[in-house]
Structure 1
Amino acid sequence: MEKVLLEVETLGGLRIKAGEKILLEQGARINKPWELLVFLLLNMDEPLTNEQICEALWEDDEVANPAGALKNAAYSLRKHLTAAGLPADCVMTRDREYCWNPATPVQLDVQTLNALYRQGRAEQDPQRQLEICRTFLSRYSGDFLPSLAGRRWVLPKASALSQKYLFAVLHACDLLLEGNTRSNAQEVLDICGRAMLLEPLGEDLYLRHFTALKQLNMKTAILNHYPIISNMFLDETGEVLGPELQNIFRWASEGTNTVDDIHQIQKDLDEVTRDDRPIRGAYFCPYEVFKHMYHMVVRSAVRVDNTVVLLLVGLQSTGSQAMSKQENSRVMLQLREIIKNTLRKGDVFSRYSRNQYVLMLSVRQPGDSGVVAERLLKGWRASGLSSGMRIDISTGLPEPIV
């Protein structure tokens, strides 16, 4: 009699199939027998003790008698599998320890991905490497065991698989970008677009994504997308994007026009400012733009005998607990509006870090910045946000450049 093949998918949700019979639909509740099955399959190459199995499946004393619970789960699992046509000894005991019988055929998606990963690392030919990466990515169909994501035994395996996925993504993108063709760059955008849903804070992904946009000369897309990503990284990590991404943004900022037409220039500038009319308050811009505008503001200030002063406005919690990311993002947006409406139209400010804004003022005397700081504090207190939070304001005088 032909052996029944057990097929187990863990990505995007656990799905179990024996021959033509589906034993567990993807998204269905995973009970202990099915969790035991996937745990045994994922650890086939490692000898396990029953104690280790119990510690993994029943955390923090979930049951009074884990050994008895394991025995019941194994009995129930065997019953399900034998009813589907698998041999009675598919789950066997070796030295009184439960394990999967290696003689029972099984197809496990994680094993396939691990084999592809090893094959790709060993391959020398770049074109074959790319083909293997494409195959790996096509089979990586979602998060690893999402309904068991909180389990301690799942976390390291999910992390290891995620790292292999990220390697395949980055390596495929690097190989494609070396070709410097439109079709390759478009494929990189497709690969990164999917990967960023699974790894939303992978800066290496955004570097490949923006490099592909640059190869496609999509300057407008870069200018529109970069500030969103920059703010997301500040909110989530407190870090600014790296110099390579900043350089791509600066390249895109150089302009997209090749036609020497003053009417086109007037039209472009009109479209840029249309949503901000009538102009109220200070100008907010990405920090990369802020650094370039500093040179312009300093030169303008020297002509009228003004002084450029920098203010650093930081948001701090006054309680014993730090603010959540969501709360920090919400309050930082409101603080941005307070700053914008407090400063003059000619002033410029930018997000500097997760909880800081940097302001650039052109004033008659350095001491005039104190008046601005007082207005900011007054606006902060009037906003009703000051309960449990405060803003700290520090002043700096940049070294003269002209």
Structure 2
Amino acid sequence: MDKVKATLFGTFQISFQNKILEENEMHSSKLVALFSYMMIYHDRVVSVTEMMDILWNNEEITNPRNALKNLTYRLRKVLQSTFGVSDFFLTQRGSYSWNPDYEIELDIEQFETMEKELKEKEQVNQEDITRMCGILSLYKGKLLPSISSSHWVISLITYFHSLYLRNAKQLALLCGEAEDYDNMSEICKNALLIDPLDDETQYLFIKALLLQGHVDLAKKQYQTASRMMYESLGIRQSEYLQKIYMEIMKKQEDTEENLDTIKDDLLDDPMKKAFQCEYGVFREIYHLDMRRSERHGYAEYVVLFTLTQKKFAGSDSNLSLLNKEMKKLETVVMSSLRNGDVVSKYSGNQYIMLLYGCNAENIQIIVDRLISRYEAQSKFHLFEIEYTYDEIGA
């Protein structure tokens, strides 16, 4: 007998004997939930009480048992109309179960078997990669999107989302070991469409670009990922992004024997204002300057600005508004500081700065000037700057 094949990732679609039942033909989210639950848990008996809880959890309904009977009758009519059979599931006294006469193939079960296989494989050949890429592509979005707010679906959505990322990253690693960098890159790119804020996936994607020789693309992707992490999560550079940044820098160290050529490159587009960089670069500059100041005895100051919402601002000052204010603060800082000062975004609401040629007397003047210029740019003053500063190495 032909298999009943169910696609539940990103949609709801059932096929049997070359006939297809689409979600819009069900005309009811309750019918989708009823049939989906029986398919997902086809390996066990589902009690009437359990099914009523699944369908009407915390809903006020006069007679849920009769409502379930009516729903079951309607589902059988839909199945009979589409496939010519209605006995995919059996009704016993007080319970439901899948009819063992019908073999069922679920995309979610194929997906689950992939993780076990990936854990067991130390290396893969091209045939393995092609087959597992096909399985990975079964994940077309979150499970059962039309009923994704149902309490029993939410936990499954989280589970399969995490499983997808684990499988994608493990397969990408195996592709890298097999020197199949094209598939490694493609797997990561698709995974980032699902979850662009997973920093390990970002790391693997940038790594794949480097291994393909696309250094400029890798650098652009790194900058995109860093900015996204700041703006969406309010976090500073993650360990994975710090690691890949150092790998990008190593790739850019091309051998050049002609000193004049190197000098020309160094003098190209000289800075005329403060230097803005990622936090990983800022940290390296800080360590270098700390050693220089110890050796030569001159003072430099590190300043941290934290943008905080004022108490009276209310809850409407959301992340989008914070991002706008951070952009405004960035403009003020970059237009006010001198050539040679260093600026980096430390977190979603913080900038850190290295100021040269300062002393204990004028550092407060510089900080006050920056704050005054920022406040002059704001009409409603929903945010304020909190600051700390100290001599580097102190």
TM-score bin (small chain): 0.7 to 0.9
**Which residue does 1:170 correspond to in 2?**
169
Give the partner amino acid of 2:305.
Answer: V
After superposing the two structures, state which structure 1 stretch, 218-227 or 195-204, moved more: 218-227
Alpha-carbon distance in 1 for matches of 2:80, 2:309:
60
Match of 2:331 among 327, 334, 337: 337
Alpha-carbon distance in 2 for matches of 1:303, 1:27:
78
Q: TM-score, normalised by structure 1?
A: 0.84
Shift of 1:24: 1.0
Give the partner amino acid of 1:341.
Answer: S
* C-alpha distance after superposition, 1:200-251 (max 9, x if no partner): 1222212222322333343323332222212222333333344453233124
SS of structure 2 residue aligned to 1:103: coil
**Which residue does 1:221 correspond to in 2?**
217
SS of structure 1 residue aligned to 2:361: helix
Retained in 2: the 8 A contact 1:92–1:99?
Answer: yes
Retained in 1: the 8 A contact 2:45–2:96?
Answer: no
CA change 1:324–1:133 in 2 (3 A) is farther
* Pairs within 5 Å for 1:134-283: 134-179=133-178, 181=179, 184-254=180-250, 255-261=252-258, 264-265=261-262, 268=265, 279=272, 281-283=273-275
**Which residue does 1:328 correspond to in 2?**
322
Give the partner amino acid of 1:315.
Answer: L
Alpha-carbon distance in 1 for matches of 2:4, 2:221:
45
* C-alpha distance after superposition, 1:19-78 (max 9, x if no partner): 333321589975321221112111223432323223322343164443333222211110
Shift of 1:267: 6.1
Task: Report whether the alignment pairs 1:79 with 2:77.
Answer: yes
After superposing the two structures, state which structure 1 stretch, 117-126 or 143-152, moved more: 117-126
**Which residue does 1:284 correspond to in 2?**
276
Give the partner amino acid of 1:389.
Answer: F
CA change 1:358–1:64 in 2 (3 A) is farther
Retained in 2: the 8 A contact 1:123–1:129?
Answer: no
**Which residue does 1:318 correspond to in 2?**
310
Alpha-carbon distance in 1 for matches of 2:379, 2:289:
32
After superposing the two structures, state which structure 1 stretch, 120-129 or 381-390, moved more: 120-129
Alpha-carbon distance in 1 for matches of 2:264, 2:183:
34
Alpha-carbon distance in 2 for matches of 1:153, 1:130:
33
Structure 1 unmatched runs, 5+: none
CA change 1:397–1:11 in 2 (3 A) is same
Shift of 1:282: 2.6
Alpha-carbon distance in 1 for matches of 2:380, 2:390:
25
CA change 1:329–1:123 in 2 (3 A) is same
User: Sequence identity of aligned pairs in percent?
Assistant: 24
SS of structure 2 residue aligned to 1:365: coil
CA change 1:387–1:59 in 2 (3 A) is farther
CA change 1:73–1:217 in 2 (3 A) is same
Shift of 1:191: 0.8
After superposing the two structures, state which structure 1 stretch, 188-197 or 198-207, moved more: 198-207
Structure 2 unmatched runs, 5+: none
Alpha-carbon distance in 2 for matches of 1:257, 1:160:
45
Q: TM-score, normalised by structure 2?
A: 0.86
Give the partner amino acid of 2:326.
Answer: M
SS of structure 2 residue aligned to 1:153: helix
* Pairs within 5 Å for 1:56-67: 56-61=54-59, 63-67=61-65
Task: Report whether the alignment pairs 1:10 with 2:12.
Answer: no
Give the partner amino acid of 2:378.
Answer: G
Shift of 1:107: 2.8
After superposing the two structures, state which structure 1 stretch, 192-201 or 8-17, moved more: 8-17
Match of 1:112 among 104, 110, 123: 110
Structural RMSD (CA): 3.2
Shift of 1:387: 3.3
Retained in 1: the 8 A contact 2:47–2:96?
Answer: yes
Q: Give the number of aligned pairs.
A: 390
CA change 1:73–1:4 in 2 (3 A) is farther
After superposing the two structures, state which structure 1 stretch, 191-200 or 44-53, moved more: 44-53
* C-alpha distance after superposition, 1:309-349 (max 9, x if no partner): 11110111223649533333232222211221232233211
**Which residue does 2:90 correspond to in 1?**
92
SS of structure 2 residue aligned to 1:139: coil
Shift of 1:129: 6.1
Alpha-carbon distance in 2 for matches of 1:306, 1:122:
58
Retained in 1: the 8 A contact 2:290–2:393?
Answer: no
Give the partner amino acid of 2:37.
Answer: F
Give the partner amino acid of 2:80.
Answer: T
Shift of 1:397: 1.6
Alpha-carbon distance in 1 for matches of 2:68, 2:199:
43
